[in-house]
């Protein structure tokens, strides 16, 4: 059975590939939503929306489709992808010296149904100077990431984290891999 990743994220592709999976990438337009939902509901619903839209677009339904969505939240506020450099700097200033939560929701869809779940990690930022924030924003790296940062980007942003590093990067493969392997074996 073929595995389809319903995500354009280079980080998700890398994690899935490093875990030994062979897959195709098929991305169908889906508008992410976070209106009045908890961070967990937001991440899971968006992952399910992405996976469902992609599965429905397939001619050959003999596939396993994986969708994922990562949200960063702090003080009851979801920090999505920054709109621009100014927004990225504002988010980084907010996270500086504080602990926030990263939730990645996932959805796995086959012709026999859908399964969804999530992983949560806590991340504590170093206290960042204006210069550190400016340098990181100038690199362009924060612009396509929830919360305006990538823990893997090589900048000294994060002091500590609890939970799955892969979750913070964007795909909790430790949790997802066994499910994918089972679905790819049994859903024929």
Scanning the chain, the segments in alpha helix (DSSP H) are 10-18, 39-57, 85-95, 130-139, 165-169, 173-186
pLDDT band at 15 (very low <50, low <70, confident <90, very high): very high
pLDDT digit string, tens, across residues 124-133: 999 999 999 9
Give the torsion sign (CA, 123, 107, 12, 20): positive
Tokens 């919360």 found at: 147
pLDDT band at 33 (very low <50, low <70, confident <90, very high): confident
Q: Is the pLDDT of residue 139 over 70?
A: yes
Active site residues: 69
Max distance between CA atoms of the chain, in angstroms, equals 55
Fold of 2-186: Maf protein (3.90.950)
- Mean pLDDT, the chain, rounded, equals 94
What's the per-residue H, E or C state across 13-25? HHHHHHCCCCCEE
Q: Is the pLDDT of residue 86 over 90?
A: yes
pLDDT above 90 as % of the chain: 86
How far is CA 161 from its chain centroid? Answer: 16
Q: Is the pLDDT of residue 34 over 80?
A: no
The reported pLDDT for the residue numbered 181 is 94
């Amino acid at each position: 059975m073929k595995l389809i990743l319903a995500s354009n994220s280079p980080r998700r592709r890398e994690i899935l590939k490093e875990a030994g999976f062979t897959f195709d990438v098929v991305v169908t337009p889906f508008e992410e939503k976070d209106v009045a939902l908890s961070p967990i509901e937001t991440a899971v619903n968006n992952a399910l929306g992405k996976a469902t839209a992609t599965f429905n677009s397939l001619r050959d339904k003999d596939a396993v489709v994986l969708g994922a969505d990562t949200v960063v939240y702090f003080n009851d506020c979801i920090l999505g992808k920054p709109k621009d450099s100014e927004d990225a700097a504002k988010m980084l200033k907010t996270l500086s010296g504080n602990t926030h939560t990263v939730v990645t929701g996932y959805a796995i869809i086959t012709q026999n149904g859908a399964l969804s779940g999530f992983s949560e990690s806590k991340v504590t930022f170093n206290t960042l100077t204006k210069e550190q924030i400016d340098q990181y924003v100038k690199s362009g790296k924060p612009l396509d990431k929830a919360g305006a940062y990538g823990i893997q980007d090589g900048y000294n942003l994060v002091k500590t984290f609890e939970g799955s590093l892969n979750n913070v990067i964007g795909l909790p493969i430790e949790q997802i891999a066994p499910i994918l392997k089972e679905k790819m074996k049994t859903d024929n």
